[in-house]
Structure 1
Amino acid sequence: MNSIVNLPNDDRSCGWYAALPEPLPAKRLSGQRTADHVVIGAGFAGLAAARRLAEHLPQSRILLVDAQRIGYGASGRNSGFVIDLPHKFALEHPDPRHKQRLLGLNRAAIDQLQTLIGRHGIDCQWSHAGKYQGAVGERGLAYLEHFEKLMADLGEPYRLVERDELAGVLGSDYYSRAIFTPGCYLMQPAALVRGLGASLPANVEVLEESPIQRLEKQAGGHWVLHGKDGSIRTPSVLLGTSIFTQEFGYLRNRLLPVMTFASWTRPLTDAEVAAVGIQADWGLTPADHAGTTVRMTQDRRLIIRNTYKHVPRYGRSVGEGTRAKIRDDHRKAFLARYPQLAGVPFTHTWGGAYAISRNFTNFFGQLDDGIVATACDNGVGAAWGTISGTLLADRVVGAQSALLSDIQTVTGMPSLNPPEPFLGMGVRTRIRWAAWNSRSEL
């Protein structure tokens, strides 16, 4: 029997979620249930897995179970990018075929999301806006030059954008230069995730606010999933639980729980938009990965995201004092870019936990008899979660494809971490060192 110890405990101040209407009351797990398949975790991966299972097996009973409300967890807390390009570290992989496989998987996810958004009329600010990767000083420019070389080697389109042109979009001359890549999409993540949950096939039953606390293996190839007020018996479990996979006893000492933080403003007024000359609907990520991400939403909110924390107890690792300090740091980054908007307040500051691995390897496959998982998105969860959840369901039903072969080729086992307390000390030291080195890019 595997017992979960730490449950999701996200803060209550996510701006994306707060901007949505109040959801209908949650349907919770109660009593004894049975299902042909159970998907745990209703983020991008779990939603995609449940949908694909239902499409393959329209007569099967599928349960999708989440500890919180759909859109409240990590999938609804990112900065709203769906990026086609491989992660910066993956771009440095020596095998060009590896990078092309990742690119193909990400683009398949984007196509899938775009189709679902159109088919079901999901209102989530979906936009083919592309993405800027920006540099402030010499350190950022060196990273940007390296990124340009990687893009040229990959054979993907990109465009250099100099300060004056960039300022005409951002409404700020803070950045020296950027590279624009056209394949990225922007969206409102909590709205997208909620819309995906609301449009699942009829044979998927969603249970929210129903944390699974124990997995019990029974004779005959079945599992019993124990919650506080009920249980589910099933022969097939799919874990779309990201960092929480280790709480079920799997991939322990192989995943690093990291939280990033963002703050956003109220919507800018017409006068404020005119004062800075800013355009709507764009996103900029830092050339130096420890720098600051900036986004302007379709409804004209500015988002500042930076600051990384090692969170061994997930949301419980971050107190109000830490959150206030992070909000102050975000304010400094905001004012450095938009001093004319000093009177525009932040309305929300939030964090979201995700999993990284020391060898930047994603896990995809079988963990136990009757249990499969996709875990460790390494910070690029929207596209990766969507395609890996979809292909995990294909794997369960035996549906072969070139994409399934590709994801099996590019994934593997996350490397082991050092034991505590050395792990925590090392991660915290590395994060502080990165922040210090990257202070000119914040």
Structure 2
Amino acid sequence: MNSIVNLPHDDRSCGWYAALPEPLPCRRLIGEQKADYVVIGAGFAGLAAARRLAEHLPQSRIVLVDAQRIGYGASGRNSGFVIDLPHKFALEHPDPQHKQRLLGLNRAAIDQLQTLIGRHGIDCQWSHAGKYQGAVGARGLAYLDHFEKLMSDLGEPYRLVEREELAGVLGTGYYSRAIFTPGCYLMQPAALVRGLGASLPKNVEVLEESPVRRLEKDTDGRWILHGDEGLIRTPRVLLGTSIFTQEFGYLRNRLLPVMTFASWTRPLTDNEMAATGIQADWGLTPADHAGTTVRMTQDRRLIIRNTYKHVPRYGRSIDEATRSRIREDHRKAFVARYPHLADVPFTHTWGGVYAISRNFTNYFGQLDEGVFATACDNGVGAAWGTISGTLLADMAVGTDSEQLSDIRAVTGMPSLNPPEPFLGLGVKTRIRWAAWNSRSEI
């Protein structure tokens, strides 16, 4: 028997979610139910897995269960990038074929999302806007030079953007230079996730606000998922639970729970847009990975994202005083870039938990008899969650493909972590050291 201890505990101040209309009443897990497949976790991975299972098995009953409302958790809290390129650490992999496989998988995810958005009319600010990777000072420029070399080695298109041209887009001369890559898409993550949930095939039943407290096997070898007011019996379980996979007894001491934070402004007025010369609908990530991400949404809100925390108790690791200090740090980063907008307030500050591993390896595969999982996106969740969830469903029903071979080739087992208290001390020290070294880019 595997008993879950720590559940999601996200803050109530996510701007993306707050900008959406109130959701319709949800269905909850009540009483005893049976299903052919159960998917736990309704983020990008779980939604993709449930959809693919339903397509493979239109006569089967698929249940998708989440502890919260769809769009409220980590998948609805990112900065709205769907990135085609391998992550910064993966770009340094010595095997070119490894990087090409990742690139192909990410682009398959983008194609899949774009098709679903068009087919179901999902209103989520979807945009093929590309992405800037920006540098402020000497440290950032050195990272940018390294990124340019990696892009050249990969054979992918990119363009150098100097300060003056960059300022004409961003509305600030704060950045010295950037590299623009064209393959990234931007979106409103909570709206996209909710839209994907609302458009699932009819043989998928969605149960929200239904935490699974315990996972055990019965005498017939079926899995029993215990909730607060009911249970589900099923022969097969797919875990799209990311960091929470360890709460079911799997991948323990192999995943690191990290939270990153963002704040956004109210929508800028016409006068504010004109005064700064800022354009709408762009995204910039830092060349130095510990720097600051900046987004301008289609509805003209500026987003500042930085600050990382090790959160062993997930959302319960962050108190209001900590969140207030983070908001102040965001304010400093915002005013440094936009002193002429210093009177524009933040309306929301929020955090989101994701999983990283010490060896930057994603897990994908079968954990137990009848239990499959994709976990640890290492900070690149939208594309990776979508494609890994889709292919996990393929694996569960026994369908093979070149993409399934590719994802098996680029995934593995996350490294074991040191025991506590050494793990917590080490992670906190590393985060603080990275923030100190990168202070000129924050």
SS at match of 2:440: helix
Look up the equivalent residue of 1:71 and give its one-letter code.
G
SS at match of 1:129: coil
Matched, 1:39 2:47: no
Q: Residues 221 and 370 of structure 1 are in contact (CA less than 8 Å); yes or no, is this contact kept in structure 2?
A: no
Identify the residue that residue 151 of structure 2 maps to in structure 1: 151
Partner Cα separation in structure 1 for residue 221 and residue 213 of structure 2: 20
Identify the residue that residue 355 of structure 2 maps to in structure 1: 355
Alpha-carbon distance, 1:26 to partner: 1.4
Identify the residue that residue 126 of structure 1 maps to in structure 2: 126
Look up the equivalent residue of 1:321 and give its one-letter code.
A
Partner Cα separation in structure 2 for residue 437 and residue 46 of structure 1: 37
Structure 1 gaps of 5+ residues are: none
Identify the residue that residue 220 of structure 1 maps to in structure 2: 220
SS at match of 2:377: coil
Identify the residue that residue 390 of structure 2 maps to in structure 1: 390
Matches within 5 A, 1:58-73: 58-73=58-73
Identify the residue that residue 25 of structure 1 maps to in structure 2: 25
Look up the equivalent residue of 2:420 and give its one-letter code.
E
Identify the residue that residue 8 of structure 1 maps to in structure 2: 8
SS at match of 1:85: coil
Q: Which stretch of structure 1 is more off in the superposition, 392-401 or 252-261?
A: 392-401
Matched, 1:173 2:173: yes
Look up the equivalent residue of 1:379 and give its one-letter code.
G
Matches within 5 A, 1:371-382: 371-382=371-382
SS at match of 1:29: coil
Partner Cα separation in structure 2 for residue 26 and residue 54 of structure 1: 20
Q: Residues 239 and 373 of structure 1 are in contact (CA less than 8 Å); yes or no, is this contact kept in structure 2?
A: yes
Identify the residue that residue 276 of structure 1 maps to in structure 2: 276
Matched, 1:409 2:400: no
Encode CA deviations 1:249-298: one digit per residue, 9 max, x unaligned: 00000000000000000000000001100000000000000000000000
Alpha-carbon distance, 1:217 to partner: 1.1
Alpha-carbon distance, 1:6 to partner: 0.3
Alpha-carbon distance, 1:233 to partner: 0.2
Q: Residues 160 and 177 of structure 1 are in contact (CA less than 8 Å); yes or no, is this contact kept in structure 2?
A: yes
Encode CA deviations 1:234-260: one digit per residue, 9 max, x unaligned: 000000000000000000000000000
Partner Cα separation in structure 1 for residue 219 and residue 125 of structure 2: 48
Alpha-carbon distance, 1:184 to partner: 0.1
Matched, 1:308 2:308: yes
Q: TM-score, normalised by structure 1?
A: 1.00
Matches within 5 A, 1:428-439: 428-439=428-439
Alpha-carbon distance, 1:398 to partner: 1.1
SS at match of 1:335: helix
Encode CA deviations 1:59-96: one digit per residue, 9 max, x unaligned: 00000000000000000000000000000000000000
SS at match of 2:285: strand
Matched, 1:253 2:267: no
Alpha-carbon distance, 1:220 to partner: 2.4
Encode CA deviations 1:162-183: one digit per residue, 9 max, x unaligned: 0000000000000000000000
Look up the equivalent residue of 2:300 and give its one-letter code.
R
Alpha-carbon distance, 1:98 to partner: 0.1
Q: How many residues align?
A: 442
Q: TM-score, normalised by structure 2?
A: 1.00
Look up the equivalent residue of 2:241 and give its one-letter code.
T
Alpha-carbon distance, 1:219 to partner: 2.5
Identify the residue that residue 95 of structure 2 maps to in structure 1: 95
Alpha-carbon distance, 1:221 to partner: 2.2
Partner Cα separation in structure 1 for residue 394 and residue 233 of structure 2: 22
Matched, 1:229 2:217: no
Matched, 1:74 2:85: no
Partner Cα separation in structure 2 for residue 376 and residue 168 of structure 1: 37
SS at match of 2:89: helix
Encode CA deviations 1:76-119: one digit per residue, 9 max, x unaligned: 00000000000000000000000000000000000000000000
Encode CA deviations 1:184-243: one digit per residue, 9 max, x unaligned: 000000000000000000000000000001001122220000001100000000000000
SS at match of 1:244: helix
Partner Cα separation in structure 1 for residue 342 and residue 35 of structure 2: 54
Identify the residue that residue 204 of structure 1 maps to in structure 2: 204
Alpha-carbon distance, 1:399 to partner: 1.1
Identify the residue that residue 110 of structure 1 maps to in structure 2: 110
Partner Cα separation in structure 2 for residue 221 and residue 90 of structure 1: 39
Aligned-pair identity in percent equals 87
Q: Which runs of 4+ in 1 moved over 2 A?
A: none
Identify the residue that residue 289 of structure 1 maps to in structure 2: 289
Partner Cα separation in structure 2 for residue 355 and residue 57 of structure 1: 31
SS at match of 2:213: strand
SS at match of 1:309: strand
Structure 2 gaps of 5+ residues are: none
Look up the equivalent residue of 2:150 and give its one-letter code.
L
Identify the residue that residue 327 of structure 2 maps to in structure 1: 327
Identify the residue that residue 49 of structure 2 maps to in structure 1: 49
Partner Cα separation in structure 2 for residue 415 and residue 288 of structure 1: 24
Partner Cα separation in structure 1 for residue 319 and residue 108 of structure 2: 39
Matched, 1:238 2:241: no
Matches within 5 A, 1:181-196: 181-196=181-196
